[in-house]
């Protein structure tokens, strides 16, 4: 019995010895630093000498940040989430990767934040692929000319300031002049155009975002739209990365050969978030207190919008950035930056808005640098002289206000211009089909409405649609 027990013990110890000899502990190198200070939306970190620019670092509590400022002694990190639990002395770990976002068809119809977390009540996202939020723009040789129109359903834009698929068209104007309405109406008009849409709300009020999402759902547009949201009370780091994350999501679909429309609402808040982060990181301010590289953050974003050649999939990414002006000052720093980056602008006038001319597009200050090359030939035939006639009317209207005696030809120009203005007015969320627009513009160019009293113009327009077999706009 004793010998048997001894043998069993020997065997057990021998097995343990063999297991010990063959065991190799898994070693994993981790670089750990420490938080030295925390401020509004940023943290200073020491002890990570090998960290890369824009590398993702991990804080306690599942909080992430982006290495944004690299110095000899520490790094400045932009925090991407609720950082109130963070304090000096907390551990910081390198991840070895840059900030990325989930992409795929599962995002269509969803509302998410820039980190890829669902904000609606449809459960977690089931995606397998992720893309970096910062990616190089398509090389010149992979790009094709912009020739296919992107119909907005808004008469004044489709006729006078046409937008092409792959173009970047800036929407700018003062507060409460209808900038978001134009962007949302353009999304609503893509329901039968085979265009996917991405709406990026940057630092907006929660109530304003909820209103936009409710409009998209009411009109069935969420079936082809992804919404990326940061609210006004979110950390500035989230507002900063939001448009880049949204663009990577849109680029995924573009590279699948799809046509995509992306709306940035608005880049004023994006610039302010970047200014806040930069000033907290002690970067020197320049003109109007913005850092010198503010142009670069928007140019590298909007350069990613393009139309690809057929051998590269043939997809397109059309960008509609929104910017807010102050006191109609288009010559301010951020508006002039974006005007020089984009391929045209749609300017909304508060004066027209106050007069009830909706949408309040100032035709004289609005331009499309792609122009009629991205417009259907039917439009070019009926709307070719319309912009000039409208501009002449506006000049004469200002002159006529002085009570000057007018000859018959001038009265005819004024009468015709008033009918042009009346025809180009349009209600919110009432897109007009292409054929209906062309019928209206043809009748307008031929002077068919010149004898119609101004107060009866809406009824005459609907009568024209009905006689041509189009459903009236509701």
Q: Which two tokens mark 417?
A: 């211009």
Cα 297 to Cα 244: distance, rounded to the nearest angstrom: 10
286 is in an annotated binding site: no
Confirm whether 369 is a catalytic residue.
Answer: yes
DSSP string, 276-337: HHHHHTTPPB-GGG-BTTHHHHHHHHHTT--BB-GGGT--EEEEEEEEE-STT-TTSHHHHH
On whether the CB atoms of residues 302 and 168 are closer than 8 A, the answer is yes
The answer to whether the Cα torsion of 375, 380, 382, 387 is positive or negative is positive
Cα 393 to Cα 62: distance, rounded to the nearest angstrom: 61
Burial 225-241 (b: 16+ CB within 10 A, else e): bbbbbbbeebbbbbbbb
What residues have CB less than 8 Å from 465, skipping those under 6 apart? Answer: 436, 439, 440, 471, 472, 473
178 is in an annotated binding site: yes
45-to-49, 196, 214 alpha-carbon distances in Å: 10, 41, 42
179 is in an annotated binding site: yes
412 is in an annotated binding site: no
Region of residue 203 (phi > 0: left; psi between -120 and 50: alpha; otherwise: beta): left
Burial status of residue 325 (CB atoms within 10 A of its CB: 0-12, 13-18, 19 or more): buried
Cα 468 to Cα 172: distance, rounded to the nearest angstrom: 35
What phi and psi values does residue 215 have, to the nearest 5 degrees?
A: -65, -40
Within 10 angstroms of residue 157's Cβ, the number of other Cβ atoms is 25
175 is in an annotated binding site: yes
The catalytically annotated residue of 369, 376, 411, 421 is 369
176 is in an annotated binding site: yes
Task: Extract the annotated binding site for ATP.
Answer: 173-180
Residue numbering of the annotated binding site: 173-180
Supply the residues annotated as catalytic: 369
């Amino acid at each position: 019995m004793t010998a048997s027990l001894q043998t069993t013990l020997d065997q057990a110890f021998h097995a343990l010895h063999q297991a010990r000899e063959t065991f190799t502990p898994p070693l994993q190198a981790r670089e750990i630093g420490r938080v030295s200070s925390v401020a509004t939306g940023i943290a200073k970190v020491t002890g990570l000498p090998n960290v890369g620019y824009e590398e993702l670092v991990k804080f306690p509590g599942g909080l992430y940040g982006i290495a944004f400022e690299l110095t000899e002694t520490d790094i400045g990190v932009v925090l991407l989430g609720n950082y109130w639990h963070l304090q000096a002395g907390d551990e910081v770990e390198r991840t070895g990767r840059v900030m990325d976002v989930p992409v795929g068809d599962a995002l269509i119809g969803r509302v998410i934040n820039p980190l890829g977390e669902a904000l609606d009540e449809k459960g977690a996202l089931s995606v397998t692929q992720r893309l970096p939020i910062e990616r190089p723009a398509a090389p010149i040789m992979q790009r094709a000319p912009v020739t296919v129109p992107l119909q907005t359903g808004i008469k004044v834009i489709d006729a006078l300031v046409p937008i092409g698929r792959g173009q970047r068209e800036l929407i700018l104007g003062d507060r409460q002049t209808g900038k978001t309405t134009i962007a949302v109406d353009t999304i609503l008009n893509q329901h039968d155009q085979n265009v996917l849409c991405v709406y990026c709300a940057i630092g907006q009020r929660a109530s304003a975002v909820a209103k936009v999402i409710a409009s998209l759902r009411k009109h069935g547009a969420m079936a082809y739209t992804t919404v990326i949201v940061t609210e006004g009370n979110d950390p500035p780091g989230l507002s900063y990365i939001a448009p880049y994350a949204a663009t990577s999501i849109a680029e995924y679909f573009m590279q699948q050969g799809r046509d995509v429309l992306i709306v940035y609402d608005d880049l004023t808040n994006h610039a302010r978030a970047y200014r806040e982060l930069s000033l907290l990181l002690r970067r020197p301010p320049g003109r109007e207190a913005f850092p010198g590289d503010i142009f670069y953050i928007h140019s590298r974003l909007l350069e990613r919008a393009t139309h690809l050649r057929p051998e590269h999939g043939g997809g397109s990414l059309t960008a509609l950035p929104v910017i807010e002006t102050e006191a109609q000052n288009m010559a301010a720093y951020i508006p002039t930056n974006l005007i020089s980056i984009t391929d045209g602008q749609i300017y909304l006038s508060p004066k027209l808005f106050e007069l009830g001319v909706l949408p309040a597009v100032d035709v004289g200050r609005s331009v499309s640098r792609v122009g009629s090359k991205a417009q259907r030939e039917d439009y070019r035939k009926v709307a070719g002289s319309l912009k000039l006639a409208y501009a002449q009317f506006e000049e004469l209207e200002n002159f006529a206000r002085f009570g000057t005696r007018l000859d018959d030809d001038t009265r005819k120009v004024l009468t015709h211009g008033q009918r042009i203005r009346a025809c180009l007015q349009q209600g919110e969320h009432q897109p007009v089909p292409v054929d209906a627009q062309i019928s209206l513009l043809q009748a307008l160019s031929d002077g068919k409405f010149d004898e119609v009293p101004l107060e009866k113009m809406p009824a005459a327009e609907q009568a024209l649609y009905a006689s041509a077999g189009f459903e009236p706009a509701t």
